[in-house]
Structure 1
Amino acid sequence: MEQKLSSIETQQAAILAYLQSNHSLSTFEAREKLDVMHPGSRIQELRAKGHNIITYRRTINGHRKVAEYVLLAAIGEVA
């Protein structure tokens, strides 16, 4: 069983680590794999901290306009 994440900072760290390893994260993945129920809020907070994360809207399993977040590398970094 995966560990539940409670604090905002812990959720941010989990999302960032996931994006760094997998390069993208959908709302469904955040909820199912990371137990983050409101990933959009955590993404906004990470952006405010300077992380370059973009959002695409996708159709996933028949659900339209599902957010998929992608972490872009900063200048001089390799993603």
Structure 2
Amino acid sequence: MKKAMIPEENRSLSQGNSNTSINAQNARLVSHLRLGPSDTFTIMRELNICRPGARICDLRASGYKIITTRTMLTDEWGRTHRGVAVYTLIAEPGQKVAA
């Protein structure tokens, strides 16, 4: 069986993402969301998180304010998906949210 190879331009995205513990996934996700909104496909592919919604739930339970919007996206095989979650971090634990 032929082993899948990560393209050169994507290797840096997967470096350091081999730890699949919940704490490691949550830490990666928070760092990523601090850079801006991110969708389910990107979180799965770039952060090696199989269940982004579960990690978002963990973060919300820890006091992070994260909003979810839905969008239509096309995957890498050209298939269109409706209702893909896009997560936006709006406040961290202890921060006030501007009204």
- Find out whether 1:70 has 2:88 as its counterpart: yes
Tell me the secondary structure at the aligned position of residue 6 of structure 1.
Answer: coil
- Structure 2 residue identity aligned to 1:70: T
Flag as ranges the 4+ runs of structure 1 deviating above 4 A: none
Distance 1:48 1:76, change over 3 A: closer
Gaps of 5+ in 2: 1-10, 75-79
TM-score by length of 1: 0.87
Shift of 1:5: 3.1
- Structure 1 residue identity aligned to 2:81: H
TM alignment of 1:37-52, pairs within 5 A: 37-52=50-65
Distance 1:44 1:76, change over 3 A: closer
Gaps of 5+ in 1: none
Return the alpha-carbon distance in structure 2 between the equivalents of residues 27 and 4 of structure 1: 18
Return the alpha-carbon distance in structure 1 between the equivalents of residues 19 and 67 of structure 2: 23
User: Which structure has the larger Rg over C-alpha atoms?
Assistant: 2
> Percent identity between the aligned chains?
36
Give the superposed CA RMSD: 1.6
TM alignment of 1:1-79, pairs within 5 A: 1=11, 2=14, 3-21=17-35, 23-61=36-74, 62-73=80-91, 74-75=95-96
Question: Does the CA contact (< 8 Å) of 2:90 and 2:97 recur in 1?
Answer: no
Q: How many matched pairs?
A: 76
Question: Does the CA contact (< 8 Å) of 2:33 and 2:89 recur in 1?
Answer: yes
